[in-house]
Amino acid sequence: MDILLLTELKDEQRKMIQLLPDITIYDRNTITHEKYASIQVILGWNTIANQILAGPNCVGFIQTVSAGVDALPLKQLAFEKVLVANTSGIHAESLTESTIGMILAFTRGLFPMGPKPFREWKPDAKRKQMGNISDQTVLIFGTGHIGSHLASRLKQFDAKVLGISRHGETKEEFDRVGCMNQVSAFVKQADIIVNVLPLTRETYHYFDNEFFSLTEQQPLFVNVGRGESVDQVELIRALKSGRISGAALDVVDPEPLPNDDPLWKLPNVLITPHIAGSVPHFRDSLFNIFYPNLKQYVLHGSIVKNQVDLTRGY
Amino acid sequence: MDILLLTELKDEQRKMIQLLPDITIYDRNTITHEKYASIQVILGWNTIANQILAGPNCVGFIQTVSAGVDALPLKQLAFEKVLVANTSGIHAESLTESTIGMILAFTRGLFPMGPKPFREWKPDAKRKQMGNISDQTVLIFGTGHIGSHLASRLKQFDAKVLGISRHGETKEEFDRVGCMNQVSAFVKQADIIVNVLPLTRETYHYFDNEFFSLTEQQPLFVNVGRGESVDQVELIRALKSGRISGAALDVVDPEPLPNDDPLWKLPNVLITPHIAGSVPHFRDSLFNIFYPNLKQYVLHGSIVKNQVDLTRGY
């Protein structure tokens, strides 16, 4: 079985894979066009993978290296019954720490910060913008693994934590969870809004003019989900009009954000370059998902962990 | 009894005080030099209070509006047996949230941040500096109310938390507490060092060249205690030489920090203008300490809450 590693693994991890029966490993350096048609397993996703899927192929299992699978041709994969696994779960702590750091950057008077030109000793101006998380109501869009982990950390700070999910199922990490048609009442209460939703047809440009017009507390808007879930023109309008007091964005549309994008110039926007989900010891965490999946796929044609529902898209 | 309010209280709080027997309230607007000698209670601290203490006076109780009392003439107050109470306790959550925000600003690639000139989309450079708190060892100087609260919040993030106190008493919020002569071994392990020590004769310029030469992990240095506990020339040297990887400073020496101070220009220094302890609903929290103290002082000549040990200085 030919497998293609588009993400680097450790030497000992490659050796473990080699011990599986009849495996030939290809990577970015060794793959050739002639071999595209025989690849059955792909780890990672890039233009090579796209090209393989575009031609005659026998790919049966794709292991992504991210929680979101929106870059993949999901319809085609569903039609061809390709198994897809993501890395959902391993990013939760990183995304949670980045989100809380972003919130505290605003609520504790840290932002904007850095050397010149932000040198200023203006305690009174800073104090006016400050608050404690314990006094805030945080509304999280997405109550899956990441949203729930973030909620539990925010509860440790004594925040009030609300959630929105497709069906509004109760979750112990949240004070209350609403479904999509209850959004209006939830948004009105929010001091901080966080998006961790996956990108799907339903969430594309979900945060639009209609959404931002619901805010009443001039909330901070944090996006660590996907940039395309936000109508960025309307986000900028909401920032300028004061419908929201600030934005912390790890994801934007497009990425990388062009140097002349107006978002860079707004004084109340904190941007990080899609790094919030970065995981220490990533290759170990990835291998803990990929290896059991690969072994099962080689032996039985199925996978055991993190299978994506291709019709839902997550 | 004449009392001087150098910090504004709410109208209803002033009314409650008026209901105590024989009270006359003075404030910044109504106090005159002629009245200095008759003031028995002072709320807050500023040059007027200094002047009152410098002359013939009958001050018997001072309620400060900060946890630190280093601005007061402690020797004189001890000699004259003046009762002093601080607001220790009410700043713990604010200082904790600011400290964690400062740590996350560095560990989650948020710093430096802001609009131009920090617009850059350089994920790889950022990722190199990133980590999760769960992988960090944090060393807190000071294991009192503030240090312990911070430790408990950091433990919720699964950090390893070490403490240093004068006598090294075990505290449940810490994995381990050492005393001052064990500092060397503790500093070597630290990824993050936080100072919350009060300023006393013993802690003045405690963080000096000798201290910074002990570091081995290029730790981040966070100071939310007092600026004078740090030899700032040596701090700058340690930042430039890489003995420490960065500094987050809510307190500096002097304050306000002069516009031409070299600290402003360093790329790896985050400065906030002594705001980390700012408390929401401050006047309510303050009154919950001041009022019971005042009532007891009026009726019995003693106080009931937050009395400062004038020989220790905290």
Q: Tell me the per-residue pLDDT of B134-188, one tens digit each, with 9 for 90 and over.
A: 999 999 999 999 999 999 999 999 999 999 999 999 999 999 999 999 999 999 9
Residue B276 sits at the chain A interface (C-beta within 8 Å): yes
Low-confidence stretches of chain A (pLDDT beneath 50): none
Of B131, B276, B280, the CB nearest to A280: B131
Of B127, B156, B264, the CB nearest to A275: B127
Encoding tokens for residue B38? 């008759």
| Contact residues, chain B, for A93 at CB < 8 Å | 132, 134
Pick from A65, A107, A108 the residue to mutate for testing the B interface (most B CBs within 10 Å).
Answer: A108
Residue A266 sits at the chain B interface (C-beta within 8 Å): yes
**Gap from A38 CA to chain B (nearest CA, Å):** 33
**Gap from A93 CA to chain B (nearest CA, Å):** 8
Residue B302 sits at the chain A interface (C-beta within 8 Å): no
Residue B133 sits at the chain A interface (C-beta within 8 Å): yes
Identify whether the C-beta of residue B254 lies closer than 8 Å to the C-beta of residue B229: no
Pick from A110, A157, A236 the residue to mutate for testing the B interface (most B CBs within 10 Å).
Answer: A110
**Gap from B275 CA to chain A (nearest CA, Å):** 6
Residue B35 sits at the chain A interface (C-beta within 8 Å): no
Q: Phi and psi of A62, rounded to 5°?
A: -120, 125
Q: Phi and psi of A180, rounded to 5°?
A: -55, -35
Q: A313 by DSSP, 3-state: which? A: coil
B255 in catalytic set: yes
Q: Is A157 in contact with B259 (Cβ distance < 8 A)?
A: no
pLDDT at B307: 97
Residue A218 sits at the chain B interface (C-beta within 8 Å): no
Encoding tokens for residue B235? 């701090």
- Distant-in-sequence, close-in-space partners of B309: CB < 8 Å, separation ≥ 6: none
Identify whether the C-beta of residue B63 lies closer than 8 Å to the C-beta of residue B291: no
Encoding tokens for residue A152? 């539990």
- Compute the average pLDDT of residues B27-31: 96
Give the type of residue at B24. T
Pick from B8, B97, B252 the residue to mutate for testing the A interface (most A CBs within 10 Å).
Answer: B97
Degrees (nearest 5) of the Cα angle B85, A134, A151?
150
| Contact residues, chain A, for B105 at CB < 8 Å | 101, 104-105, 110, 113
pTM recorded for the entire structure: 0.90
Identify whether the C-beta of residue A68 lies closer than 8 Å to the C-beta of residue A87: no
| Contact residues, chain B, for A100 at CB < 8 Å | 100, 104
Pick from A65, A132, A249 the residue to mutate for testing the B interface (most B CBs within 10 Å).
Answer: A132
pLDDT tens, residue by residue, A2-33: 999 999 999 999 999 999 999 999 999 999 99
pLDDT at B281: 87
| Contact residues, chain B, for A138 at CB < 8 Å | none
B226 in catalytic set: yes
Residue A130 sits at the chain B interface (C-beta within 8 Å): yes
Encoding tokens for residue A259? 């140097």
**b/e A39-56 (16+ beta carbons within 10 angstroms → b):** bebbbbbeebbeebbeee
Which residue shows structure tokens 């937050």?
B306
pLDDT at A121: 86
Instruction: Report whether pLDDT(B115) > 80.
Output: no
Catalytic residue from among B8, B255, B281, B312: B255
E-only strand ranges, chain B: 2-5, 24-27, 39-43, 61-63, 83-85, 137-141, 160-165, 176-179, 192-195, 220-223, 246-249, 269-271
Q: Helices A92-107 and B92-107: crossing angle, nearest 10°?
A: 120
Instruction: Report whether pLDDT(B117) > 70.
Output: no
Q: Phi and psi of A273, rounded to 5°?
A: -85, 65
pLDDT at A181: 92
CA closest to B126 among chain A residues:
A275
pLDDT at A117: 67
How many CB atoms within 10 Å of residue B309? 11
Q: Phi and psi of B283, rounded to 5°?
A: -65, -30
Bond prior to A254 in cis (omega within 30° of 0): yes
pLDDT tens, residue by residue, B1-14: 999 999 999 999 99
Of B93, B259, B274, the CB nearest to A134: B93
Four-residue CA torsion sign, A276, A103, B153, B179 = positive
A274 in catalytic set: yes
Residue B300 sits at the chain A interface (C-beta within 8 Å): no
